[in-house]
């Protein structure tokens, strides 16, 4: 990590020593917001941002994201989690409380196409992607120079379906070594095993180069061209054991027409892929995403 990025992270951490985030999902009923507000008030916490959503006020699921400022949060955190258990039990909640001070550690997986990786690195260098990119792993050497030029460790691990188990064993060891919080598949053109996915639930963000559910799997631009589509797109989603079927985080599109050949579709599509993936990663590191079944609520 270069000194500028290190300084940016340290400044961010210093500014957010006492900033916290609370994510909640539970059956909807009266009194949820009141109970949480009173709980935070008991710690002298000030709510900075609050967003909520209910699938149905009568018998639906309630979702809430609160960002708050709390003096002495580091010292209070464990007691808050312990005391919050009473509210959790009363409302049957799934929940997390995190300190914004904790900058999430990311591993990026990439193959030969580098446009999504380069976009993330640019956002990271500019301070607009507040994560700690601690390692890049690839089944090709194409990204080594640019990655190592930023003082990020780069690992070349050949991967294909014949040696998937061996490759993933090395990758999982690296994720443990670098204490990774989440993984970004920035056009990493390999299918991950069930074991790998199960060890990282809702922690693997993929970019797929089509507007899902259209053109799942390989060669979507070629298939889109053959079908004569008028719109192409990209989809970022959490990885599950069903190929390209995980909870969708973000999508975008661009219009095309009969004059656009496959190369044109790819060129247009790369711009969409870059922006869609960058937004998804930002929302993930800002704790703006709640996964419910096979959907996401993005605040």
Q: What is the pLDDT of residues 184-228, one digit of tens each?
A: 999 999 999 999 999 999 999 999 999 999 999 999 999 999 999
CA–CA separation, 82 and 278 (whole Å): 35
> How many Å apart are CA 142 and CA 146, to the nearest integer?
9
The structure tokens 């991967």 sit at 159
Token digits for 297? Answer: 């609520």
Task: Determine the topology of domain 105-298 in CATH.
Answer: Rossmann fold (3.40.50)
DSSP letter (8 states) at residue 286: T
User: Which CATH homologous superfamily contains domain 17-99?
Assistant: ACT domain (3.30.70.260)
Assigned token pair, 40: 């935070």
Tell me what pLDDT residue 1 has. 67
**Boundaries of CATH 3.30.70.260 in the chain?**
17-99
Which of the following is catalytic: 132, 244, 260, 287?
244
- Burial label for 174, CB within 10 Å (0-12, 13-18, 19+), is middle
For the beta carbon of residue 197, count every other beta carbon within 10 angstroms.
Answer: 19
pLDDT in tens, 44-91: 999 999 999 999 988 899 999 999 999 999 999 999 999 999 999 999
| Rounded average pLDDT over 96-110 | 97
Residue 235: strand, helix, or coil? strand
- 244 carries an active-site annotation: yes
3-state secondary structure 169-224: HHHHHHHHHCCCCEEEECCCCCCCCHHHHHCCCCCEEEEECCCCCCCCCCCHHHHH
Q: What's the longest Cα–Cα distance across the chain?
A: 63
């Amino acid at each position: 990590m270069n000194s500028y990025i290190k300084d940016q992270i340290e400044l961010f951490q210093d500014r957010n020593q006492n900033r916290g985030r609370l994510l909640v999902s539970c059956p909807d009923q009266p009194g949820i917001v009141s109970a949480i507000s009173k709980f935070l008030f008991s710690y002298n916490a000030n709510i900075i941002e609050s967003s909520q959503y209910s699938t149905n006020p009568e018998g639906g699921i309630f979702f809430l994201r609160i960002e708050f400022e709390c003096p002495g949060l580091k010292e209070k955190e464990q007691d808050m989690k312990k005391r919050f258990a009473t509210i959790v039990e009363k409302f049957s909640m799934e929940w997390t409380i995190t300190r914004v001070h904790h900058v999430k550690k990311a591993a990026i997986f990439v193959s030969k196409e580098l446009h999504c990786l380069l976009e993330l690195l640019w956002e990271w260098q500019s301070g607009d992607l507040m994560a700690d990119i601690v390692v890049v792993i690839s089944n090709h050497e194409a990204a080594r120079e640019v990655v190592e030029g930023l003082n990020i460790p780069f690992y070349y691990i050949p991967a294909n379906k014949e040696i998937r188990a061996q490759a993933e064993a090395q990758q999982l060891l690296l994720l443990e070594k670098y204490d990774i919080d989440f993984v970004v598949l920035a056009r990493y053109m390999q299918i991950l095993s069930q074991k790998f996915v199960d060890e990282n639930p809702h922690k693997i963000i993929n970019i797929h180069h089509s507007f899902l559910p259209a053109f799942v799997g390989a060669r979507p631009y070629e298939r889109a061209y053959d079908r004569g589509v008028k719109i192409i797109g990209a989809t970022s989603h959490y990885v599950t054991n069903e190929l390209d079927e995980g909870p969708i985080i973000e999508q975008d599109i661009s219009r095309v027409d009969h004059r656009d050949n496959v190369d044109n579709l790819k060129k247009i599509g790369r711009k969409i892929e870059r922006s869609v993936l960058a937004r998804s990663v930002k929302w993930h590191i800002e704790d703006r995403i709640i996964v419910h079944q096979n959907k996401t609520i993005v605040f």
